[in-house]
Amino acid sequence: MSADPAADAGAPLIVLSDVWREYPAGDGTIAALAGVDLAIRAGEMVAIVGPSGSGKSTLMNILGCLDRPTRGSYRIAGRETAALGPDELAALRRERFGFVFQRYHLLSELTALGNVEMPATYAGTAPADRRARAAALLGRLGMADRLGHRPGQLSGGQQQRVSIARALVNGADVVFADEPTGALDRTSGEEVLKILDELNADGTTVVIVTHDMAVASRAERIVEISDGVVTADRRVRDGRPRRRAPGAGAASAAPASRWRAAADRFREALRMALLAMNAHRLRTVLTMLGIVIGIASVVCVVALGEGSRRKVLSNIASLGTNTLEIFPGKDFGDVRSAKVKTLVVADARALAEQPWVAGVTPTVSTSSTLRHGALEVSAMINGVGEQYFAVKGTTLAEGRFFDGRSVVTMAQEVVIDENTRKALFADVAGGAVGRTLLIGKVPFRVIGVTKAQQGGFGSSANPSVYLPYTTVQARILGTWSLRSITVRVADDTDTGLAEQAVVELLTRRHGTKDVFILNTDDIRRTITATTAVLTLLIAAIAVISLIVGGIGVMNIMLVSVSERVGEIGVRMAVGARQSDIMQQFLIEAVLVCLIGGLIGIALALGFGAVFAAVGSSFSLVYSGTSIVAAVLCSTLIGVLFGFLPARNASRLDPVAALARD
Ligand code: ADP
Ligand code: MG
């Protein structure tokens, strides 16, 4: 960064030989520069003059490594620039060059201080150092009281001083000024020229482009250019004795460590992304909406699927495991099954004798009116065996179950459920057990109350009561056929085999196959598979909406990039690497998606709370995995769909980008 030995020894710092810059025009090309030879020594102040359109800016852009010659050689301190890659050129601009443009090219969202600090951020200067240096430079240029002002709040002359401070913050040893006074009034222009003069007096090489001879006459050397060729090159004054002031030239501030510098650049990119998002709030929110809806629906669908699956599985669990439910009829939903009277208690007894059966309970059922005192309620009457409660896993809130003797003696005993207790015995002091209720006209003694079961099939608000099946058959129905037989298969027996054996046994006993079997394992498997397929299906739709949302993000990011081409050009001119630009736009895309994703998750959780509040029969089950996946997914969408716009931005040509502002 310090003036290199070759330059100190008197060799020119900058050497152009036979430089051409041609632009495509129609079928052929037009040459903005047509064979320029020019050498500039370190510490010189050179004015490049010529009429409008003569190629001054083109020359300046090539000198500043914003543009490349189409032909010819450009050497800086002995190094051929044609051999340098974009990031090496960026490093040159960052470390050795400073630019002052006619239209200032300040970033409007940043304060004066922020604008001056920016190149130092890319150079990796520690934040405190660069702030101090930027403030000191602005102070030296008479801007100490304007550090927090944005460009829009500054006059043209003040803006140009900010841009000069920006050119110097990294300790540039060459300052390129393209018509620096072109947009300024006389006084401000005079001040800017004075500053450039002083810089040169301090040892900085200054190249100033102008069409104004009065401006040019301040230089020690005037290069005239016309139609892309140098027409005159004369020394009008002797060069000043060079003195390199401390603080000028080599960036005095020590660069921060590699990691600290990278983290610092990341922070800068993050800040810029937030500024850009804030500048287009409505657009950002609308862009986010797609991601919000996508993520919210994915999370909700997964939670709904899991919630309903658990609900159904717990229902099945309440049927008991390893149980077969034997019904009369050909198959599930057989309309004539009620007319099939062949399933009888003797079948249950025969099944109970099988070695692979752990328990059997016949059931009969009907509905009837229950009465106690003045209260009455219609209830489901279940006639069951004494093993029923064990097979089903029913538990008692109070009292006891009936036993085998009750079944044999057709005892008039009844176990009621929680719903029945509420309907008939809510106001009875001392509870329901021991009271008598009427089923139809027959009196029964309440011997137990079951605990409310968690979501079993038919665990609705309907009251149910349990009596010995013999009692129901003899005293209520007057028929001996059964509604079903529930078999609990021994643990070491395969339920499939047991099912076959049951069908065989009953077919032999009845002479024909007139029963069918519900196997809880089958039901569980079927339902699990069904909910999985459904969840997958709806999730696929949600993912499509996420992709649509992602394309929306990409679209807006492309717009954002093309809107901010000027900003990108400025950043590149002050030495941002391609990766810095890429990072800035990627961060913006990821931020939009990530914030959208987080809002989406919050929305989904809120939906779950509402769902629970309206008293639905099951709740949404959010898995940590699905939420983490949603966050990762939205980040990924940001990276994926932000990549193309960010790459477009980073591959912009600095000079083309600047020209479009
Ligand atoms: P000056 O700065 O001296 O006014 P420029 O260097 O901007 O002139 O332009 C020199 C010539 O090159 C002009 O004729 C201009 O039309 C042409 N030129 C400059 N930039 C482009 C471009 N991007 N595409 C085509 N022609 C260009
Ligand atoms: Mg120009």
| Structural tokens at position 651 | 């591959």
CA dist., res. 432 & res. 418, Å (int): 10
In this structure, how many other beta carbons lie within 10 angstroms of the beta carbon of residue 10? 8
For the CA of 33, the nearest ligand: 1
Q: Is the pLDDT of residue 454 over 70?
A: no
Expressed in angstroms and rounded, the spacing between residue 69 Cα and the centre of ligand 1 is 13
CA dist., res. 660 & res. 633, Å (int): 36
Residue 250: pLDDT band with limits 50, 70, 90:
very low
Do 107 and 100 contact (CB within 8 A), yes or no? Answer: no
For the CA of 101, the nearest ligand: 2
Do 251 and 1 contact (CB within 8 A), yes or no? Answer: yes
Phi, psi for residue 403 in degrees, rounded to 5:
-120, -170
pLDDT greater at residue 442 or residue 616:
442
CA dist., res. 244 & res. 379, Å (int): 103
Q: Which range among 58-62, 428-432, 542-546 has the greatest average pLDDT?
A: 58-62
pLDDT at position 624 is 87
Angle between helices 156-168 and 127-140 (to 10 degrees): 130
* 3-class secondary-structure state, position 47: strand
pLDDT at position 251 is 47
Quick one: which of 261, 263, 265 has its CA closest to 253? 261
CA dist., res. 55 & res. 128, Å (int): 41
Expressed in angstroms and rounded, the spacing between residue 66 Cα and the centre of ligand 1 is 14
Expressed in angstroms and rounded, the spacing between residue 639 Cα and the centre of ligand 2 is 39
527-540 exposure pattern, b = at least 16 Cβ within 10 A, e = fewer: beeebeeebeebbe
CA angle 461–464–470, rounded 5-degree value: 165
Instruction: Tell me, using a 6 A CB cutoff, whether residue 373 lines ligand 1.
Output: no
402-433 exposure pattern, b = at least 16 Cβ within 10 A, e = fewer: beeebbeebbbbbbbbbbbbebbbeeeeeebb
Q: Which CATH architecture has domain 5-256?
A: 3-Layer(aba) Sandwich (3.40)
Cα–Cα separations (whole angstroms), residue 6 to 2, 13, 211: 11, 8, 32
CA dist., res. 225 & res. 54, Å (int): 6
Residue 583: pLDDT band with limits 50, 70, 90:
very high
pLDDT at position 239 is 67
Quick one: which of 226, 175, 223 has its CA closest to 200? 175
CA dist., res. 141 & res. 511, Å (int): 110
Instruction: Tell me, using a 6 A CB cutoff, whether residue 32 lines ligand 1.
Output: yes
Cα–Cα separations (whole angstroms), residue 180 to 99, 212, 599: 10, 11, 48
Expressed in angstroms and rounded, the spacing between residue 179 Cα and the centre of ligand 2 is 7
Residue 429: pLDDT band with limits 50, 70, 90:
confident
Expressed in angstroms and rounded, the spacing between residue 174 Cα and the centre of ligand 2 is 19
| Structural tokens at position 591 | 């931020």
Nearest residue by C-alpha to atom 1 in ligand 1: 53
pLDDT at position 336 is 65
Residue 272: pLDDT band with limits 50, 70, 90:
confident
Quick one: which of 543, 536, 633 has its CA closest to 593? 633
Instruction: Tell me, using a 6 A CB cutoff, whether residue 55 lines ligand 1.
Output: yes
CA dist., res. 146 & res. 111, Å (int): 9
To test the ligand 1 pocket, which listed residue (54, 66, 207) has its Cβ within 8 A of the most ligand atoms? Answer: 54
120-179 pLDDT per residue, tens: 999 988 889 999 999 999 999 989 999 999 999 999 999 999 999 999 999 899 999 999
Nearest residue by C-alpha to atom 5 in ligand 1: 55
379-397 pLDDT per residue, tens: 999 999 888 887 777 888 8
Q: Maximum Cα–Cα distance for the chain, whole Å?
A: 132
Chain region(s) in the chain for CATH 3.40.50.300: 5-256
Q: Is 279 exposed, middle or buried (0-12, 13-18, 19+ CB in 10 A)?
A: middle
Q: Is the pLDDT of residue 464 over 70?
A: yes
CA dist., res. 207 & res. 68, Å (int): 18
Expressed in angstroms and rounded, the spacing between residue 652 Cα and the centre of ligand 1 is 19
Q: Is the pLDDT of residue 366 over 70?
A: yes
Quick one: which of 354, 588, 573, 615 has its CA closest to 461? 615
Range with the poorest average pLDDT among 522-536, 561-575, 581-595? 522-536
Can you say whether residue 544 is alpha, beta or left, with left for phi > 0 and alpha for psi between -120 and 50 degrees?
alpha
Residue 329: pLDDT band with limits 50, 70, 90:
confident
Cα 640 → chain centroid: 11
CA of 50, closest atom in ligand 1: 3
Nearest residue by C-alpha to atom 26 in ligand 1: 23
Instruction: Tell me, using a 6 A CB cutoff, whether residue 660 lines ligand 1.
Output: no
Q: Is the pLDDT of residue 509 over 60?
A: yes
Nearest-10 Cα torsion for 388, 390, 393, 396: 90
pLDDT at position 589 is 92
For the CA of 66, the nearest ligand: 1
CA of 659, closest atom in ligand 1: 23
CA of 655, closest atom in ligand 1: 23
| Structural tokens at position 176 | 């390129």
Do 386 and 401 contact (CB within 8 A), yes or no? Answer: yes
Instruction: Tell me, using a 6 A CB cutoff, whether residue 57 lines ligand 1.
Output: yes
Mean pLDDT of 401-416: 91
Expressed in angstroms and rounded, the spacing between residue 194 Cα and the centre of ligand 2 is 22
* 3-class secondary-structure state, position 323: strand
pLDDT at position 334 is 64
CA dist., res. 535 & res. 302, Å (int): 6
Can you say whether residue 39 is alpha, beta or left, with left for phi > 0 and alpha for psi between -120 and 50 degrees?
beta
Radius of gyration of the chain (CA): 44
Round the average pLDDT of the chain to a whole number and report it. 86
Ranges of H-type helices in 141-184? 156-168
Can you say whether residue 411 is alpha, beta or left, with left for phi > 0 and alpha for psi between -120 and 50 degrees?
beta
Do 315 and 455 contact (CB within 8 A), yes or no? Answer: yes
Nearest residue by C-alpha to atom 16 in ligand 1: 53
CA dist., res. 270 & res. 262, Å (int): 12
Expressed in angstroms and rounded, the spacing between residue 180 Cα and the centre of ligand 1 is 18
